[in-house]
Structure 1
Amino acid sequence: MQKTAVSWLVYTLTGSALLLGIVSFVSLIPSLILAPYAGSIVDRHNRYRILVITQVVSMLQAGALAFMILFKCYNISAIIGLSLIQGIINAFDITCRQSLMVDMVDDKADLPNAIALNSTMTNLARIMGPAIAGIVLGIFGEDACFFGNFLSYIPVLTCLFMMKLNTPVSIKSEKSIWAELQDGFKYVSGDRDLSSLIFMLTITSLFVIPFNTLMPIFAKDIFNGDAKTFSWFESAAGLGSVISAVYLANLKNNKHLVNIIAVAGLVLGLSVLLIAYAVKLPIALIIMVFTGIGMMAQTSAINTYIQTHTIPAMRARAISYYVMAYQGMIPIGSLMAGWLANEVGPRNAVCTEGVIGVLATAAFVVYKKRTDKDFHTFSIKSMLAKQV
C-alpha cells in the first residue's frame, strides 16, 4: 500500500516522470552498493537477530513517513530521504531474510518449494496492497496508507518474537570484511553457471523490469485513469506473479530451472513490448498479468538455483549478489526509464525495454548452449585421456 501511495503522491504533486524514477532509484540503489557488504555481515552474525533489528528500524521509518504525511508536510526531498533510508534497511533485510529461509526448512529437498511459497506470499500482498490502496487513496487519502504500513509492523514483530529457530551458532571469522567480500566475489565469478544467471538478472533489472516505473503515466495520462486505475496495473502484475509462484511451488524437482529462466525471460520481454502499444485498458491489464508471470518465474527460479547450488559458507554472500543484480540495478534502470520517457515518450520507452528483454534472453540461450557443448566436449576428452 505504501509503495502505491508514494508513487501516486509523487506523480500527483509533481507530474514528473523523472521524479518517479528518482524515488524508485533512492529506495533501491543501496542494494547495489551495500548488498555484498550485507552478505558478509549476515554470514558472520546471527541472522535472526539481524532480521529483528531491520524490522524495528523499518517500523520507525514507516512511522516518520506516516506522521509527515498526516501533518501535510508534502516535502518531496523528505520523501526521497525516507525512501533512501528504507533502501539502506532493505539491503540488509532482504539478504538476511533470504539466507534465513534455509534455517527454517528442515528437509532441504523442500527448499525450492519453500522459496516459491515465499514468493507466493509476497505477491499476494502485491495484489491486495495496491487494490486496497486504490480504494483507501480515494476515500481516506495517502496518510491512511502510510499509517497502515506503520501499524503492520506490530504483528510482524510479534510473529518474529514467537518464532523458535535453531539457527547455527556463528563462528567469528578471523578474516576482515574486505577479505570476505573478495572471497564472495571470487566464488560467484568463478562459477560460470552462477555468474551467467546473475548477469542475466542484471540486464533484466537494468533494462526491462523498470518499465513498471512508467505505469503511473500509463494509468493517468494514456488511459485517463486515477489512483484506482494505477492500482489495477499493480494488481494485474501481482496476479501474474502469484500464478507463476504457484507453478514453481508445485515443481517436484529443480532440474529444469535454467529452461524456466529462459522461457520466463522471453515471456517478460514480449509482454513488455506488447504493453507499450496496447490501445485498450483491459488489453493492457491482461498483458500486465503476463509481465508478472515472466518476472516472477525468472527471478524466483534464479533465486532457487542460487540457494540450492551454493555452499552454506557462501550462501549469504552469493544471495547478496542476487540482491545486488535484482534490487540494485532496478533504481538505475528506473532513472534511465524516466529520462527516456521524457525524451521519446512513455510508449517508445517501454517498447525499447521490451526489445532489450527479448534480445537479452536470446543471447543467454545461445551462451548456455555454447558453454554446455564446450563442457560436454571437455568431459569426453577427459574420459578418453584417462582411458589412454
Structure 2
Amino acid sequence: MHVNSHAPFLHLHRDPDDPDRGAPGPTGPAERPRTFAALHIRNYRLFFTGQVVSNTGTWMQRIAQDWLVLSLTNSPLAVGITTALQFLPMLLFGLWGGLLADRYPKRRLLLITQSAMLLLAAALAVLTVTGAVQVWHVYVIAAGLGLATVVDNPARQTFVNEMVPHELVRNAVSLNSGNFQLARMLGPAVAGVLISAVGIGSAFVLNAISYVAVLTALAMMRPAELLPSPLVSRAKGQLREGLRYVRRTPALLWPVVLVFFIGTFGYNFAIILSAYTKDVFVSGADLYGLLNTAIAVGSVAGALMAARRSTARLALLFGVAAAVGLALVVLGLTPWFWPFVALLVVVGFVSVTFNTLGNSTVQLASDPELRGRVMSLYMLVFMGGTPIGSLVVGWITESWGAPIALIISGAICLVATLIAGLLALRGAGLAVRPAVRSLWAGPAGAGPAAVSVPSVRVAERV
C-alpha cells in the first residue's frame, strides 16, 4: 500500500486471527439505515413508547433517590453504597439472569420483572410521602431493584432481536440508547422541579405509575409478529459454555473487557455530580438535575448518530473508549461552571456512543442460542462492576474531592484502553514497533535526508 511520505504512516499486515474478522458486517458498502427505521415496526414502536415513559420515571427516581440519601446522611459515600447495593445483584447473579433469558420467552420475563419494579417503586413512594423513610429502607429497595434487573436487563436487551429483523438490530439498539438518554434528559429536569416544589416523594410516585406504560405496551404486542429466538433446554455446563464462547470470540471478548473498565470507573456520574453540586458549585437539587440533563443532551446526540451506522469495527470502539477517559480528565481539570456544563455534553456524547457501539456489536456477533448469556456477561461487567467503582469513586470523592475523582476515573479508563488495545493487537498476531521514514531523501550524494520523523509500523509478530 502506498502511503504519502509527508505524513506519519501505519502499515497493517493482518493474520487470520484479526479480531475484527469476527465482527459482523457486510461484504460490500452498506447502505446507512434511516435514523428511525426500526420505529416502522409496530411491536418495537409500542416497546419504544412504553420505555420513554418508564425510563423517564426511572431517571426521576435515580435523582430523587440520590438526593434523598444525601439529605438523610450528608455523605457521598452513602450515595455510593446505595448505588453499589442496586448493582451488586448483577455482579453476583448476572450470568444466571442471562441463562433464564435463553431458556424462557423474553416477553413473559419482562412482564414479571417490570411488575416487581412497579411494586418496589410504590413501596419507596409510600415510605417517603408518609415521612417514615430511613436510609436502610432505601438500601433494601435498591437491592430489590437490583435483583429484578438481573433478569430484566438480558431479557430486555435481547428482546430487541425478536421485535425487529436482523438488519435493523443495530438501529434499534441505538434508538433504545437514545430513548434512555432522552429520559435521562427529561427525568432529572422534572425531578429537580418536583423535589424543589412538591417534595422528594412525588418523584417516586410518578415512577411507580410510569411502569404501567411498559406493561401496557407489552400486553398490546402482536405475538405473531415477533421473531422468537430458539429457547435452550436445561442442561449442565451452560454457564461455562457461554463464558468459553466469549473468550474464544475476539469480537465479543474485547468489547466486554473495555466495558468493564469504562462502566466501573467512567459512569459513576451520580456520585461525582452530587458532590459537585453540593461542594463545588454550592447549590441544590435543581442544579443537580441541570448537570445530569447536560450529560443527557450529548447522550441523545450520540445515540442518534450511532443509529445511522450500519457497521462498527473494534478499532472504533477502542478509540471511543479512549475518548471517554480523556473527556473525564479534561472535565476534572475544568473549574468554571459553564465550560463544565459544556464538557458534560461532550462526556455524554462519547459515553453513550461507546455503550451503543459495544452493545450492538456484541448482540450482532452472538449466536442466537447464546445471546442471553453473552448479553448477561456484557451487562454483568458493565453494571456489576459499578458496585466496585461506586465504592472506590465515592471514597475518593469524599476524601479528595469531586475534581480529583473525575481525573483519576478518566486516567484509569485511558490506561486500561491502551493496555487492552495492545493486547488485542498481540492476540491478532500484530506487533507495534517504532520506525523512521525520511520526508525527503535528497539527491544522490547530497548526504543524509534533510528531515526524518518517527512513526509507528504495525507488522506481523515474529
Q: State if a TM-score over 0.5 links the two structures.
A: yes
Checking the alignment, whether the CA contact within 8 Å between 1:134 and 1:231 is kept in structure 2 is yes
SS at 2:385's partner residue? helix
Query: 2:175 & 2:229 partners in 1: Cα distance?
Result: 27
Checking the alignment, whether the CA contact within 8 Å between 1:257 and 1:302 is kept in structure 2 is no
2:348 is the alignment partner of 1:331: no
Return the offset for 1:171: 4.7
| 1:123 corresponds to | 181
Query: 2:190 & 2:287 partners in 1: Cα distance?
Result: 12
Checking the alignment, whether the CA contact within 8 Å between 1:211 and 1:334 is kept in structure 2 is no
Query: 1:281 & 1:128 partners in 2: Cα distance?
Result: 21
List runs of 5+ in structure 2 lacking aligned partners. 1-59, 432-457
Alignment of 1:261-340 (within 5 A): 261-340=317-396
Return the offset for 1:63: 0.6
* TM-score normalized with structure 1 length: 0.92
Checking the alignment, whether the CA contact within 8 Å between 1:113 and 1:250 is kept in structure 2 is yes
Return the offset for 1:98: 0.5
Superposed structure 1 runs of 4+ greater than 6 Å apart: 375-378
Checking the alignment, whether the CA contact within 8 Å between 2:229 and 2:368 is kept in structure 1 is no
Query: 1:155 & 1:112 partners in 2: Cα distance?
Result: 24
| 1:351 corresponds to | 407
| 1:5 corresponds to | 64
2:272 is the alignment partner of 1:214: yes
Question: Which structure carries more helix by proportion?
Answer: 1
Return the offset for 1:169: 7.5
- What's the CA shift string for 1:289-311, capped at 9, x where partnerless? 11111211111111111111111
Task: Identify the match of residue 25 of structure 1 among 81, 84, 87.
Answer: 84
- What's the CA shift string for 1:335-363, capped at 9, x where partnerless? 11111222322221221111112222222
| 2:282 corresponds to | 224
2:304 is the alignment partner of 1:249: no
Return the offset for 1:174: 4.3
Return the offset for 1:257: 3.5
The one-letter code matched in structure 2 to 1:233 is L
Query: 2:188 & 2:286 partners in 1: Cα distance?
Result: 8
Alignment of 1:33-112 (within 5 A): 33-106=92-165, 108-112=166-170
SS at 1:146's partner residue? helix
* Shift in alpha-carbon separation, 1:172–1:286, aligned structure 2, 3 A: closer
* Shift in alpha-carbon separation, 1:373–1:77, aligned structure 2, 3 A: same
Is 210-219 or 32-41 further displaced after alignment? 210-219
- What's the CA shift string for 1:188-222, capped at 9, x where partnerless? 11223311221111111222222542210101110
* TM-score normalized with structure 2 length: 0.78
Q: CA RMSD in A?
A: 2.0
| 1:386 corresponds to | none
The one-letter code matched in structure 2 to 1:163 is M
Task: Identify the match of residue 190 of structure 2 among 117, 120, 132.
Answer: 132
Query: 2:353 & 2:229 partners in 1: Cα distance?
Result: 34
- What's the CA shift string for 1:124-158, capped at 9, x where partnerless? 00000001111111100111100000111222211
SS at 1:347's partner residue? helix
The one-letter code matched in structure 2 to 1:15 is N
Higher alpha-carbon Rg: 2
Is 128-137 or 363-372 further displaced after alignment? 363-372
* Shift in alpha-carbon separation, 1:174–1:368, aligned structure 2, 3 A: closer
Query: 1:174 & 1:15 partners in 2: Cα distance?
Result: 48
